[in-house]
Amino acid sequence: MKNLLIGLFLTAIAMTGCKQKELNENPFLNDSYGTPFEVPPFEKIKAAHYMPAYLQGIEDQKKELHAIITNTEEPTFENTVKALEYSGELLSKVGRVFGALNSANTNDTLQQLNKELSPILSKHRDDINLNDTLFQRVKSVYDNQAKFTLTEEEKKVLEDTYKGFVRSGAALSPEDKDKLRKINQEMSLLSVQFGQNLLAETNDFKLVIDKKEDLSGLPSGLVAQAAQTAKSMKMDGKWVFTIQYPIMEPFLKYSDKRELRQKLFTAYFMKGDNDNERDTKKIIARIANLRVERSKLLGYKSYADFVLERNMAKTPERVKEFLGQVWAAATPVAKAEAEAQQEIIKKEGGKFKLEPWDWWYYSEKIKKAKYDLDDEVTRPYFKIDNVIEGMFYVANQLYGLEFSTRTDIPKYHPDVNTYEVRRNGEHVGILMIDNYPRASKRNGAWCGAYRGQSRDINGKMITPLVTMVTNSTPPSGDKPSLLTADEASTVFHEFGHALHQLLSNSTYPGVSGTSVPRDFVELPSQIMEHWVLEPEVLKVYAKHYQTGEVIPADIVEKLDKASKFNTGFATVEYLAASLLDMEYHSLTDTSSLDIRAFEKTAMDKYGLIPEIKPRYRSTYFNHIWASGYAAGYYAYMWSEILDADAFQAFKETGNIFNKEVAAKFEKEILSKGGTRDPLEMYIAFRGKEPGIDALLVNRGLK
């Protein structure tokens, strides 16, 4: 293996044309970055620095693990579990930077490096997880924990560490460990390839319009953005529309040209399913097959059984029962919405049946007629800078946090805005916000950290460096970025994840911040969405970008009345994707898996109406094939049970900024990270378990 690593190291140097001087000045290999708050010096980090830093990080952790394994003293929490928890500091340091940039600002070199690194890192993880001597030391501490005086957090770290080893195959026979290694390595490569194919497929499609009449119905801001895109592609005088969601959605809502709506939407929902070099069907089938093999090897019936064992839901049956309850409530609502749209088509003299590419267009007409409201009326009041100030205001009112712009801190892209977060004059952390779509950024929105909150091995506080990424409507022409209400909710949502990391107060890195079960992690993010359209909050941030006028009361009233509009569609398209995820990962045999046929059968099974497609079809379902949400996409709605009920704790006091409730939410949930069972944390905050009623009411389904 050593010769292989040396070979890859030399290959990386040759590929990037790296000079020896650059290697000697590798920022990752210095004890300190020498930047404010130790933010990575992005402008100094070259592609050639990653491989040497990764390899050095692996070697460093191997030495640390060797010291644990060869320790002749009786295994204790201190000399085994804690030592393991704090091993691999350099590896984590470089991995967080590489992973974040490969998602938010990638290029061909980083993508090639990702392919090379994937099997190396997979092997290293397995070398740790499948090391029997190391496992026996951990097991000894776990079996004899009554002998040690451990804090609640240390007990949780011990439990997670022990179960992590078991779930990673530490108790398998040598032969089965070899099988598992091969499965893990292949799966890691396939996930990388899926993500790269999807990004290439998304960037490849362009709807080019060269006739002005084909722009009929489109908002001026969207037209200006399309002209700007065309100009950047040396197509002056034309308009280019992509399948990036902030571009596609308003096109589908407002374009009067049905054939163009169909063309754009079809390109979107056929991503990865075009039988070309970027097709993802074979990749998906193989990943599904390997997950079944892996689960059975580890003693589980299916991959869903394996995943859900550590989540709040616990079993696939419970997840399906929950999703089925909401499906039963939402489907009749979605059908009624479809019928209403078909009636409009009929009244307008249309001789066609409503199709998925028509839904946005006709639902927007109904919204306009029913509430005298559309996104173009509200956009001027949702300037992105104001939305960000609004969410900062909410965080200040709830948790006393203060945000100040920092221009002296390195950033990885010009679009990034950086803030220092303080409370009572004390530094809390750094928040980087990156909002606009680009070819180097994957779709969607997410929150991560270049450094998580924890305490070092001596107990000194390590503050977090949090990054918050969206794909919001970009500025166009002389107009700033103006968001829809939904986009504003997305920004608040990701900010909730950021607060979960910024307000974390754990000791051990493995249980800090968002290191919680998948179906609990969305509680802090989704509860933040509740403040977006509250009148008390809107009057603070929702100001016209030209006049500064606060959003009028009549528009606020319309927003409130329309807040549950189209919820049948929104709920059903989400549930369809969640159920598709569960169907894939409940399989016990995938030997003859045909992706198109399987997807159709699954959706027919639940009775998905033809006018609606799943929010994510199989071939571009990045959450479950490349982002850790396999058998877990249901988590957003599961967490909605929690967030709808949790927000009621504020509403019941008559004060959405009730500081006592906020302090309790921080103490019992935000600060705890994964140091305690999530249901116990929730009950400690709310005093009871949540029920499904709050969710149904919140969505207007009851």
Q: Which residue has the tokens 């397995």?
A: 126
At 218-265, the pLDDT tens digits run 999 999 999 999 999 999 999 999 999 999 999 999 999 999 999 999
At 143-164, the pLDDT tens digits run 999 999 999 999 999 999 999 9
Mean predicted confidence (pLDDT) in 201-210: 96
Residue type, 216: S
**pLDDT value at position 492?**
98
Q: pLDDT above 70 covers what percent of the chain?
A: 97
Distance separating alpha carbons of residues 281 and 216, to the nearest angstrom: 36
Structure tokens belonging to residue 553: 């009361």
In contact, 248 and 265? CB cutoff 8 Å: yes
Structure tokens belonging to residue 623: 């959450």
Answer whether residue 129 shows pLDDT above 60. Answer: yes
Distance separating alpha carbons of residues 115 and 15, to the nearest angstrom: 14
Mean predicted confidence (pLDDT) in 374-384: 95
Reported as a pLDDT band with limits 50, 70 and 90, residue 448 is: very high
Structure tokens belonging to residue 689: 């378990």
**pLDDT value at position 691?**
86
pTM (global) more than 0.85: yes
Mean predicted confidence (pLDDT) in 212-221: 96
At 401-438, the pLDDT tens digits run 999 999 999 999 999 999 999 999 999 999 999 999 99
Answer whether residue 589 shows pLDDT above 50. Answer: yes
Answer whether residue 6 shows pLDDT above 80. Answer: no
Answer whether residue 383 shows pLDDT above 80. Answer: yes
**pLDDT value at position 12?**
47
Which stretches within 105-172 are classed as H helix?
108-129, 132-143, 152-167
At 70-95, the pLDDT tens digits run 999 999 999 999 999 999 999 999 99
Mean predicted confidence (pLDDT) in 363-389: 96
**pLDDT value at position 23?**
55
Distance separating alpha carbons of residues 470 and 523, to the nearest angstrom: 19
Instruction: Tell me which residue of 45, 18, 152, 79 sits closest to 507, measured CA to CA.
Output: 152
Distance separating alpha carbons of residues 465 and 555, to the nearest angstrom: 37
At 266-280, the pLDDT tens digits run 999 999 999 999 999
Structure tokens belonging to residue 7: 């070979």
Distance of CA 580 to the CA centre of its chain: 18
Q: Kindly give the interhelix angle for 359-371 and 316-347, rounded to the nearest 10 degrees.
A: 70
**pLDDT value at position 2?**
41
Indicate the length of the chain as a whole number: 702
- Sorted by sequence, the CB contacts under 8 Å of residue 652 that are 6+ apart come out as none
Longest Cα–Cα distance in the chain: 85
Structure tokens belonging to residue 676: 């305690």
The C-alpha angle 30, 35, 40, rounded to 5 degrees, equals 65
Which stretches within 314-467 are classed as H helix?
316-347, 359-371, 375-378, 384-399
Answer whether residue 578 shows pLDDT above 80. Answer: yes
Structure tokens belonging to residue 352: 């066609």
In contact, 111 and 418? CB cutoff 8 Å: no
Least confident range from 21-35, 78-92, 131-145, 493-507: namely 21-35
**pLDDT value at position 4?**
41
Q: Any idea what DSSP says for residue 473?
A: P
Instruction: Tell me which residue of 202, 205, 242 sits closest to 222, measured CA to CA.
Output: 242
Q: Which residue has the tokens 């993508």?
A: 111
Instruction: Indicate the helix (H) or strand (E) that contains 695.
Output: helix 693-698
Q: Which residue has the tokens 């969206």?
A: 470
Answer whether residue 63 shows pLDDT above 90. Answer: yes
Reported as a pLDDT band with limits 50, 70 and 90, residue 694 is: confident
**pLDDT value at position 477?**
84
Could you give the 3-state DSSP secondary structure of residue 288? helix
At 609-662, the pLDDT tens digits run 999 999 999 999 999 999 999 999 999 999 999 999 999 999 999 999 999 999
Mean per-residue pLDDT of the chain: 95
- Sorted by sequence, the CB contacts under 8 Å of residue 108 that are 6+ apart come out as none
At 497-507, the pLDDT tens digits run 999 999 999 99
In contact, 316 and 631? CB cutoff 8 Å: yes
In contact, 408 and 418? CB cutoff 8 Å: no
Q: What is the C-alpha radius of gyration for the chain, rounded to an integer number of angstroms? A: 26
Instruction: Tell me which residue of 394, 406, 401 sits closest to 432, measured CA to CA.
Output: 406
Which stretches within 446-587 are classed as H helix?
485-502, 522-529, 535-541, 553-562, 567-585
Reported as a pLDDT band with limits 50, 70 and 90, residue 47 is: very high
Reported as a pLDDT band with limits 50, 70 and 90, residue 190 is: very high
Answer whether residue 579 shows pLDDT above 60. Answer: yes
Instruction: Tell me which residue of 518, 467, 472, 533 sits closest to 495, measured CA to CA.
Output: 467
Q: Kindly give the interhelix angle for 635-651 and 678-686, rounded to the nearest 10 degrees.
A: 20
- Write phi, then psi, for 215 (nearest 5 degrees): -95, 5
Q: Any idea what DSSP says for residue 143?
A: H
- Percent helix, strand, coil in the chain, to 5, is 60, 5, 35
Distance separating alpha carbons of residues 177 and 183, to the nearest angstrom: 10
In contact, 49 and 115? CB cutoff 8 Å: no
Residue type, 545: Y
Distance separating alpha carbons of residues 606 and 433, to the nearest angstrom: 39
Which residues are known catalytic residues?
494
- Write phi, then psi, for 436 (nearest 5 degrees): -105, 145
In contact, 269 and 262? CB cutoff 8 Å: no
Answer whether residue 561 shows pLDDT above 50. Answer: yes
**pLDDT value at position 386?**
98
Distance separating alpha carbons of residues 581 and 616, to the nearest angstrom: 10
E-assigned strand segments in 412-530: 417-423, 426-434, 446-451, 454-455, 461-462, 465-469
E-assigned strand segments in 308-425: 401-405, 417-423
Distance separating alpha carbons of residues 442 and 165, to the nearest angstrom: 32
In contact, 490 and 522? CB cutoff 8 Å: no
For the chain, which domains are there? Answer: 2-129+131-171 (1.10.1370.40), 205-269 (no CATH), 283-351+366-371+564-702 (1.10.1370.10), 380-558 (1.10.1370.40)
The C-alpha angle 81, 82, 85, rounded to 5 degrees, equals 85
